[in-house]
Amino acid sequence: MIIDDKALLKLKLVHYFITKENFVPIIIHGIEDEIWLENKHSEYRIIRIVTKQIFNEEQLEFDIAKAKDISKQIKRKTFNPFMSILSIYLNIGEDIKEYVLNDKNSIIIENETDLENNEIIKKYYKGIVDDLNYKEEGIELLAKMTSDITKKNIEENERFNDMFKQKKPIITGILILINVIVFALMYIIGKGSEDTNTLVSFGANIPSLVRSGEYYRLISSGFLHIGIIHILCNMYSLSVLGPSIEHFYGKAKYLLIYFYSMIIASLFVMVFQNDYSVSAGASGAIFGLLGSLLYFGYYYRGYVGNQIIGQIIPVIIINLVIGFISPGISNAAHIGGLIGGIAVSFMLGINDKSEKSNRITGTILTVILTGFMIYLAFFR
C-alpha cells in the first residue's frame, strides 16, 4: 500500500503531539483539511496543522483571518486572552512562503528535513525528530500510529471517567453529621441556637475574643448555626457541593479546601465586622467549595464546556447580592471563603492537570493571602 507523503507527514505530526506531548484534539465544526490540538501546559497552547493547498496571498490572508476568528472564540470560551497558537503549514505555494516565515506563530513543514531545521521545532519540540524514526513501513506503520493515537485517547477518556464517576461522599457525610450534632447540643445543653450566650460558649466568631487568644473560634464558628433555616440551607448546599469536590479533588484535598476556606472566611469577618459582633455558620467554607468548583470547571472546560463556570458564577453573584441587601448575613465571610477556596485550589492543583509551576504560584499566593489576612486581623 502506497501512502501519500503529505498524509503520512500529517499523521506523524498528529501522532507525536498526541502521544508524546499530551495534546488533545479540538473539535471545530465546519473546518476541513486542518487539525487543531490543545495542551494547556505547552509553550504553544494550540497546534494547528494545515494540510490544504494554499497557492496565493489571498488564500493565505483568508486562512489567517479564519484562524484568528476561531482563536478569538477559543480565547473567549477559555477565559485566556493570551493563548499562543502555532500554525503548521504542510502544503504552501513558493510565492508566499516568505509571508509565512515572517510570522513567528506560523511555520512551513513540507518534509521531515524541515522538522530537523526549523528553529521553533528544535526549541520547543526537539523530540519530534527522533520520534519520526519508525521501524515499520507502509500499512504496518499506518496501523501502529493509528493504534497509538487510539490508545492514548482511550487512556485519557478512562482518566476522565474515573474523575467523574460516582463515589461515596464519606467526608461530606461526616461534616454534615458534625454540624447537626453541634446544632442539637446547643438545644440539649444550651439554650438554643439563637441564644447569644449559647453561641458564645459553643465557639462563635467574636473578633475581640479571637484577638485575646481564643483562636479556636476561627474554626468552631464554622460548625455553629443560628436557627433551623440557617442550618437547613447550609447543609443542603454542602450536600450538593461537597460530593463533587470530594470526588474531583480527593478526600484529603477536600478537607484542606474546606477548613482553609473556613479560616479565611473567619479572618475576613474579623477585619470587616464589628469587634463584638457574633457570627457563625458554614457558609464561608461552602463559598470556598464554590470557588474550588469554579477553579475545577476552568481546567476541565474541554470536557464539560463552560457549564460548571456558567452555572456557578450566577449562584455566587445572587448569593452575594442577597447578602448585601439582607441584614444578618455576613458577606465578608462569603467573599473571604470564595477567595480562600480559589487560592488553596490553585495551590493544591487538579490531579494530572495542574503543572508544578502553577502549584508553586498557587502556594505563594496562598501564603501571601494568609499572611496578609492575619496581619489585618491581629496587627493593624
CATH number at residue 369: 1.20.1540.10
Looking at per-residue confidence, does 347 or 20 come out higher? 347
High-pLDDT (> 70) share of the chain, % = 79
E strand spans, 195-249 = none
What is the maximum span of the chain, computed from C-alpha positions, in angstroms? 88
pLDDT, residue 9, reads 80
Report, as an integer, the average pLDDT of 48-65.
Answer: 84
Say if residue 42's pLDDT is above 60: yes
Residue numbers annotated as active site: 283, 334
The neighbouring-strand residues paired with 48 are 36, 87
Position 359 pLDDT exceeds 60: yes
Distant-in-sequence, close-in-space partners of 265: CB < 8 Å, separation ≥ 6: 222, 283, 284, 285, 287, 288, 332, 333, 334, 336, 337, 340
CB distance 347 to 274 below 8 Å: no
- Domain end position, chosen among 144, 163, 182: 163
Q: Tell me the pLDDT band of 322, cut-offs 50, 70 and 90.
A: low
The predicted structure's pLDDT at residue 107: 85
On whether both 277 and 172 belong to a single domain, the answer is yes
Q: What is the DSSP letter of 54?
A: B
Closest residue by Cα to residue 108 from 17, 4, 13, 2: 13
> Of 163, 187, 206, which marks where a domain is finished?
163
pTM > 0.85: no
163 — pLDDT class (breaks 50, 70, 90) = low
Res. 21 pLDDT band, cuts 50 70 90: confident
Residue 162: what pLDDT?
Answer: 59
> Higher-confidence residue: 299 or 96?
96
Per-residue pLDDT band for 66 (boundaries 50, 70, 90) equals confident
More confident residue, 156 or 336: 336
Tell how strand 46-50 and strand 85-89 pair up: parallel
- How many domains are contained in the chain? 2
Q: Please state the φ and ψ torsions of residue 359, each to the nearest 5 degrees.
A: -70, -35
Give the model confidence (pLDDT) of 288-311 as tens digits: 999 998 888 776 655 554 555 556
pLDDT (0 to 100) of residue 59:
84
| Pair (158, 18) in one structural domain | yes
User: CB neighbours of 210 closer than 8 A, spacing ≥ 6?
Assistant: 217, 218, 266, 270, 377
121-130, 261-270, 337-346, 353-362: least confidently modelled range: 353-362
Q: How confident is the model at residue 1 (pLDDT cuts 50, 70, 90)?
A: very low
The yes-or-no verdict on residue 258 having pLDDT over 80 is yes
Q: Which pLDDT does position 16 carry in this prediction?
A: 84
Does the pLDDT of residue 139 top 60, yes or no? yes
Could you read off the pLDDT of 169-187 as tens digits, one per residue? 899 999 999 999 999 999 9
Query: Does one domain contain both 303 and 373?
Result: yes
Using a 10 angstrom Cβ sphere, with 0-12 exposed, 13-18 middle and 19 or more buried, the burial of residue 118 is: middle
What is the number of other CB atoms lying within 10 angstroms of the CB of residue 33? 13
193 & 280 share domain: yes
Question: Looking at 78-87, 181-190, 297-306, 342-351, which range is the least confident one?
Answer: 297-306
DSSP per position, 254-297: HHHHHHHHHHHHHHHHHHHS-TT--B--SHHHHHHHHHHHHHHH
- Residue whose entry in the numeric block shows the C-alpha cell 473567619: 266
| Residue 149: predicted pLDDT | 72
Quote helix, strand, coil % in the chain, to nearest 5: 65, 5, 25
Give me the chain's average pLDDT, please: 82
Segment 264-293, tens digit of pLDDT: 999 999 999 889 889 999 999 999 999 998
Residue 162 or residue 44, greater confidence: 44
Structural domain containing residue 252: 167-378
Residues 19 and 153 in one domain: yes
206 in the same domain as 118: no
Give exposure, 44-62, as e/b (b: 16+ Cβ within 10 Å). bbbbbbbbeebeeeeebee
Check whether residue 244 and residue 347 sit in a common domain: yes
What order do you get walking across the sheet with 106-108 strand by strand? Answer: 24-26, 34-38, 46-50, 85-89, 106-108
Final residue of a structural domain among 147, 163, 179: 163
| One domain, residues 143 and 50 | yes
